[in-house]
Structure 1
Amino acid sequence: MTDTVTLTLDEAQALSLRTLTGNGFSEAHAQAITATIMAGQRDECHSHGLYRLLVCVATRKAGKVSNAEPVITDAAPGLVRADAQGAYSLLALERGLPLLAQKARAQGIAALAINHCYHFSALWPEVEAIAAEGLVALALTPSHAWVAPYGGTKGVFGTNPLAFAWPRPDNNPFVFDFATSAAARGEIELHRRAGKPIPEGWAVDAEGNPTTDAEAGMAGAMLTFGGHKGSALSAMIELMAGPLIGDFLSLESYVYDAGQGATPYHGELLLAINPETFMGGNVAHHAGRAEALFDAIVGQGARLPSQRRYEARARSLASGTVSIPARLHQDILALTP
């Protein structure tokens, strides 16, 4: 048996939908979740691709995620609220995005606060969707308290990703999306599943000792990137996407999970900014200055963030296929009777 399984994009999408609906997700939620999973797999972000079906189904079986329809509220001139009501965040984002874009265009800047949601996805598909509306985007969210603060050895923060997108008229948007931990939780899990050591600096074990053992790292605490700088950013994300929008900290999400290992439960904050408003009607000039910045970066051989991802996207779309480990394929198939 080969180590990998190759699926057409249609087969991969059908596998995701079949797995989700076969395990109790509504059609609307299954479609929204699958769109994000397929984006990750298509762009070769394996830790956020089809692998996430295992997490989604486990969370559903734990009774921790609902099929509730999100409630969208026009909360203030610059604020949209989307109450996910205990469901995954992605349908709430999909339903709240049109009003967010409308508000940002009308007054220059607006926020979308998603509350009471389970969240597993990468943030770049979310900020890319806002950039597709011609808007600058920022997204941030806590998770579970897996990550120790700088100088500590016990989890306080989540992996706490931060994502940004800048629309470009004739190119893919400039996008970055990174965890404020040294690595995403899913990357450590993929190392564990493959029996591979993790790099030094990713985690400590339960006694606070540095470790390259993925299982020991998951039982201990992950570490922030960049020492005190990543730790400070992580604290900022806790505050802005937690108390500021009236939702859980990573510590509270972890307690709420009660040891069941489900997807983190908390909120998410997204900001949308209208360049036309901020640039004072001189969009072409200032957008050109932004392009000069990008040219100065790539002109010396450096890469823009997401460049590898866009290259992977082009490969997947050209071939019409994606590949996943054979073991993962078997595990996904086993989820649905």
Structure 2
Amino acid sequence: MEFERHRRLRATSGIRNLVRENHVTVNDLVYPMFVEEGLSGTSEISAMPGVMHYGIDAFRREIHRLSELGIPGIIIFGVPSEKDEMASSAYAPKGVVQEAVRAAKAENPDLVVMTDVCLCQYSSTGHCGIVRDGKIVNDDSLTLIAKTALSHAEAGADIVAPSDMMDGRVARIREVLDENKFEDVSIFSYAVKYASAFYGPFREAAHSTPSFGDRKSYQMDPANVREAMREAASDIAEGADILMVKPALSYMDVMRQIRDTYDLPIGTYNVSAEYSMVKAAAMQGWIDERAIVMEMMTSFKRAGADIILTYHAPDVARWLKEENR
């Protein structure tokens, strides 16, 4: 009987390495970081073991450590000391994100500094847009979202990443950046962001739980894929430079379709609950954390991701260094 001997190409580690189709490198990684206004040092986020709130002093020291690991980029989330209905601390010139951008660039000018652009952490309502009469209003929110992005660019951000899911925000941000001579600042759009249960631990990290209702009127229905393609097409037309699919683990089918349809760089966000579930199982001794995490990272690459935002980034960078010694 004739049959294919596929195992020939799996016979040794050397052969497997030669024929491997997808590779994870440190250059794929972006590390999400939470900077808290008024904090001195760090405080661990209980729902995300190993992930910290950083004061500016500790944040700068951590930038040094990440740079030594070779991690090329970070994305900054701010935790302000004050909130109001107009989310004014989001676009304050000396707001927590703006100061963190300056600190990161002072520590390592070559680090790619990305910023999350949204109003939820800064608004007393906890919603990603302005609230009027119990409704999240779209068009008036765009002005403040673009103003926030501009303030990040003025502080020195390389890339702004709008996560609010308001319609038209990419176009408004691009317009405002260009009008103010920030044509070289890129937009990494959360183009496909689902209303997911996998964000649970992030609510503690960012202090951004909505004061009423939920985010289903602006974030996407997890059941929909064709809608994701329309969202991505709109953001490309409006001027996005990079597209994101979020979350990562449960939406690799969506990522694959986006990758096969569009030629822009694609990022994915390995979100908080995806991280916390792995950490919790590892702490119980139920899984091999390193093997699980590296398999997940490889899965994201296989599904089409060029960029992986992940809380595992420092560990992955360290493991890759160990493998290359």
Query: Same fold judged by TM-score > 0.5?
Result: no
Normalising by structure 1, what TM-score? 0.29
Normalising by structure 2, what TM-score? 0.30
The higher relative CO (CA closer than 8 Å, separation ≥ 6) is in 1
